Amino acid sequence: MSSSGTGPLRLGTRKSLMATTQSQMVADELTRRTGRAVELVGVTTEGDVSKALLAQIGGTGVFVNALRDKILSGEVDFAVHSLKDLPTAETPGVVLAATPARDDARDALCGPSKLADLPRGARVGTGSPRRIAQLLALRPDLDVVPIRGNADTRLRKVTDGELDAIVLAYAGLNRIGRLDAVAEVFETDQMLPAPGQGSLALECAAERDDLRAVLGAVDDAVTRAAVTAERTVLAVLGAGCSAPLGTFAVVEEEKLHLTATAASVDGSRQIRLSASGHPDRAERIGRELADRMLAQGADQLMGERD
């Protein structure tokens, strides 16, 4: 294989601007830390060519599966994903080898004005049930419009006047140099991000101990603890990536603080709870918080979606 010894590592990536930009960031950091050369290998997925809304073709997992297939076939050595796209169920033969230091996890409103200044009944675009639910909890009068496509395609809908605003991840906008479009960044008490938002995930074949060691050079323990807690909530609630669930964990002074919300899609009902503990207990903290949410009826909220 080309990756044996000192040959360049082959990094599988989707071909979108966002994906190649974040993959190149990881490649550069890996080379800086380990001295290994990394080459990007573009992969086209069903999610990139289908016109259907993501939820109809299996959610964001369609992007992930195509890259995992390339890892398992040996066509690429590893892949970089947006961690929030990763299904929580483990895939045989593939392992999460590293979670680099997290970027800003918050959501951003893109358009000419802040949320409070949008006109009554304003058309706001997002393809995420989580964002829809939390937007409507803040502004029940909004006309939330489902959209998909890459960031530039979505932003164009605002400049063309088709929409009054859209919501995107701040980290992604930062990576592609489009912070000029941001009117407001939502604090986490207004809108909780998706589990793992702002984080990247490096996956490789489970049997490649040599490669896992190399990729581990960019792993960030604080990020891993935070996203482990968040993704455990998602896994325990049994919610797919398209569920209206927001979570956010932060580690401060050796303590992990986790908050999660489950909402009905119309934003009228919301269960929001918090928990804390040592980062080493990240999975248990997430599990216990999810159990408390279930005890308050979070599973019924999950059922209130189309």
Q: What is the CATH number of the domain that holds 256?
A: 3.30.160.40
Structural domain contains residue 244: yes
**C-alpha distances in angstroms, 86 versus 81, 119, 202?**
7, 36, 11
Tokens of 257: 């603080």
213 and 80 part of one domain = yes
19 and 90 part of one domain = yes
Whole-number pLDDT of residue 56: 43
Q: Where is pLDDT greater, at 175 or 77?
A: 77
Residue 233 predicted with pLDDT over 70: yes
Q: How far is CA 7 from the centre of its chain?
A: 31
Structural domain contains residue 115: yes
The whole domain housing 34 covers: 9-100+199-219
* Active centre residues (catalytic): 84-85, 130-131, 148, 154, 241
Structural domain contains residue 87: yes
Whole-number pLDDT of residue 148: 84
Whole-number pLDDT of residue 61: 64
74 and 39 part of one domain = yes
Structural domain contains residue 192: no
Whole-number pLDDT of residue 115: 98
Q: Is 65 exposed, middle or buried, given 0-12, 13-18 or 19+ CB atoms closer than 10 A? A: middle
Please spell the DSSP secondary structure of 160-222, one letter per residue: TTS-SEEEEEHHHHHHTT-GGGEEEE--TTT-PPPTTTT-EEEEEETT-HHHHHHHGGG--HH
Provide mean pLDDT across the span 184-197. Answer: 96
293 and 174 part of one domain = no
Structural domain contains residue 4: no
pLDDT tens digit sequence for 14-59: 998 889 999 999 999 999 999 999 999 999 865 444 454 444 434 5
Structural domain contains residue 190: no
Residue 114 predicted with pLDDT over 90: yes
Rounded to whole angstroms, the Cα distance separating 245 from 258 reads 13
Pairing assessment for the beta strands 123-125 and 165-169 based on DSSP bridges: parallel
Structural domain contains residue 298: yes
**C-alpha distances in angstroms, 194 versus 10, 222, 249?**
29, 18, 11
139 and 92 part of one domain = no
Provide mean pLDDT across the span 172-194. Answer: 95
Question: Do 191 and 246 form a contact (C-beta atoms < 8 A)?
Answer: yes
Whole-number pLDDT of residue 87: 87
Structural domain contains residue 225: no
Residue 170 predicted with pLDDT over 50: yes
